[in-house]
Amino acid sequence: MKVYLLLGSNIEPRIEYINLTLQLIEESVGRIEKASQLYKTAAWGNENQEDFLNKAICVNTELVPQKLLSEIKLIEVKVGRQTRERWGKREIDIDILLIENLVVKTSQLEVPHPQLHLRNFALLPLKEIAPNIIHPTLIKTIDELAASCADIKAVEIFSPNKKTQ
């Protein structure tokens, strides 16, 4: 089963947190088939914090959705994520964006991610690796959703040689 995840970090060392997360995903979730470039994105929700680095990945997994969520939460803990306020700074955040064409709605998990179509920081990295995947409830491609997204927060390909504020 193909699962699309978004990784994000805005606490240094951001790149190291993301790289460790990729390694742990390969070990306990499944093989990473595709990965976007790193994107530097403005914080969303609580804007008074450092920019995030985000990366979308496609993982081939045998895990059912609830087990996938459990593994992701365990990986976040292993990487060092601390519990803080909602939309606050984080060592690592892993969002489940899509699980093939499944629609899941439980008290703990909602797939597709309910705010995917509203957030360029998720859409643009996902578009890089899966532009033609169809959102199962909105019945639009990721490319179409990105083109019509009203989010105007800064999203750019990360260049480690540029100052990252």
Q: Which residues 6+ apart lie within 8 Å of 93 measured at CB?
A: 6, 7, 8, 9, 76, 81
pLDDT surpassing 60 at residue 82 = yes
Q: Which residues 6+ apart lie within 8 Å of 50 measured at CB?
A: 10, 11, 43, 89, 165
- Cite the active site residues: 81, 90, 93, 95
Structural contact between residues 29 and 59, judged by C-beta atoms closer than 8 angstroms: yes
The correct answer on CATH 3.30.70.560 for the domain covering 2-157 is yes
pTM for the model stands at 0.93
Map out the domains of the chain as residue ranges.
2-157
7 pLDDT band, cuts 50/70/90, is: very high
Structural contact between residues 131 and 141, judged by C-beta atoms closer than 8 angstroms: yes
HSE toward the beta carbon, residue 103, CA cutoff 13 A: 7
